[in-house]
Amino acid sequence: MSKSEKDDFGFETRMIHAGTPPEPITGARQTPIYQNTSYVFHDADHAASLFNLQTFGFIYSRLTNPTVAALEERIASLENGRGATCCASGHAAQILSFFPFMEPGDAFVASNRLYGGSITQFGKTFKKFGWQAHFVDVDEPENVRRALTPKCKAIFVESLANPGGVVSDIAALADIAHGAGVPLIVDNTMATPYLCRPFEWGADLVVHSLTKFLSGNGTSVGGCVIDSGTFDWAQNDKFTGLTGPEPAYHGLRFHETFGDMAFTTHAHAVGLRDLGATLAPMNAFQTLLGIETLSLRMERHCANALAVARFLESHEQVAWVSHADLDSSPYRALAQKYLPRGAGSVFTFGVKGGYEAGVKVVESCELLSHLANIGDTRSLILHPASTTHRQLSDEQRAAAGAGPEVIRLSIGLETVDDVIADLDQALRRAAGLRAAE
């Protein structure tokens, strides 16, 4: 069965089945972990067909691996994309999302509220490739239009920003991007395709850190870039990496040869081949297992997080809470449009007493874990100013919603009253510190 015969299977069915039919040789129902580097050729001609990209198949696991491919198809299905390329981490996915079409001297526009690690990667490391990021406040469309110089080849935003409870107006940004003839790239890590599907709002490429809610248990680092297959790379002369002759494949033109599969084919055959940031099969397997329960987990993540946010908003030691589902959030309307099932489980709050109180709250928790990750079954707590956002300037920290008093939470699946009780006692202890000063 397939979409052409049935209206398409539901999201939950595809969470469990997409990309993973029974293994045909043995009948194994769960996806095997192909812990394997290389694949035997039938003969020299078969090898030539594979190396020339003339046939489908496996050569070497740096490019493709059967367990990783199963995960790629599953994520492509959940995002309603054409194809997906998994890689070693979310940061690798970000490089891979630009790599097929960016050249030295090129630029792109990015939200100034991105996750701090992304701002560092785009602002510092990308410079070494000759790629320039123009960071702007994307809440004002005019800022984006002004920043789109002729050298710009993409716009990059998060659907739901980490960590500040900021929601991007994806449809408006897609219009701006398409008006300039460039793709909109959306980091959908915090929302997952269960809460938001950016392609339905006009985005062209989606990136994920698989490390977070998709794998879901804090077991595996991984990343993925998904192509909608609908962006016309030949509409102008900006994307010669995909439309022009590829020297490493004897002048093959990816867009002409592979059509709507060009981006994903390039991301494997050139991107992973030469950047080498491959996802391990074991991590792909763990992520496949995680995705099987995505909808159930996200519903509970969202419900628990909103309960915690409401509790904190009423707490006397808390200055403010930025969760996009609260009535107080300036992003409430955008959240209702783009995230109708819930605005995720990662949000921030400001503790009264600034930097020291922030550190004390984090250090006083006994159930919430003090660590630098999000999207785990366990509730997590972090003080961004002293950790993830430490490399940024004060100005960048403020723009990213990571000022000195800010605490980031990733609410897990525990009994929510226990999470609330732990935060309450930690806030009280922090208040004690302040009173003693």
Going by the DSSP 8-state scheme, the letter that residue 38 receives in this structure is B
How far CA 407 is from CA of 90, 314, 361, 393, 418, in Å, comes to 22, 16, 8, 18, 19
Buried (b) or exposed (e) across 98-112, using 16+ Cβ within 10 A? bbbbbeeebbbbbbb
Backbone phi and psi for residue 422, each to the nearest 5 degrees, phi listed first: -65, -40
Please, what is the angle between helix 281-291 and helix 66-78, to 10°? 30
Q: Does 435 bind other proteins (CB under 8 A)?
A: no
Among 15, 18, 157, 196, binds other proteins (CB under 8 A): 18
Site for other proteins in 172-201 (CB under 8 A): none
Site string for other proteins, 206-245 (x = CB under 8 A): ----------------------------------------
The nearer residue to other proteins, 14 or 297, going by C-beta atoms, is: 14
Number of residues that bind other proteins (CB under 8 A): 54
Q: Does 24 bind other proteins (CB under 8 A)?
A: yes
Contact 262, 254 (CB under 8 A): yes
Cβ of residue 53: shortest distance to other proteins, in angstroms?
8
Segment contacting other proteins by CB under 8 A, of 22-30, 101-109, 377-385, 401-409: 22-30
Contact 210, 179 (CB under 8 A): no
Q: Does 250 bind other proteins (CB under 8 A)?
A: yes
The nearer residue to other proteins, 82 or 297, going by C-beta atoms, is: 82
233, amino acid identity: W
Residues in the chain: 437
Segment contacting other proteins by CB under 8 A, of 184-192, 207-215, 259-267, 376-384: 259-267
**Cβ neighbours of residue 435 closer than 8 Å, sequence gap 6 or more:** none
Site for other proteins in 83-122 (CB under 8 A): 83-86
Segment contacting other proteins by CB under 8 A, of 17-25, 205-213, 305-313, 320-328: 17-25
Among 66, 123, 181, 244, binds other proteins (CB under 8 A): 66
Question: Cα(326)–Cα(334) distance, rounded to whole angstroms?
Answer: 12
**Cβ neighbours of residue 157 closer than 8 Å, sequence gap 6 or more:** 110, 111, 114, 138, 168, 170, 173, 184, 185, 186, 187
Q: Does 397 bind other proteins (CB under 8 A)?
A: no
The nearer residue to other proteins, 66 or 354, going by C-beta atoms, is: 66
Q: Does 41 bind other proteins (CB under 8 A)?
A: no
Q: Does 53 bind other proteins (CB under 8 A)?
A: yes
Question: Cα(323)–Cα(159) distance, rounded to whole angstroms?
Answer: 14
Segment contacting other proteins by CB under 8 A, of 21-29, 123-131, 367-375, 409-417: 21-29
Neighbours of 230 (CB within 10 A): 13
Cβ of residue 398: shortest distance to other proteins, in angstroms?
39
**Cβ neighbours of residue 380 closer than 8 Å, sequence gap 6 or more:** 368, 369, 370, 371, 373, 374, 409, 410, 412
Residues that bind other proteins (CB under 8 A): 1-5, 8-9, 13-14, 17-19, 21-22, 24-25, 27, 42, 46, 49, 52-58, 64, 66, 68-70, 72-73, 76-77, 80-86, 249-252, 256-257, 259, 261, 264-265, 268
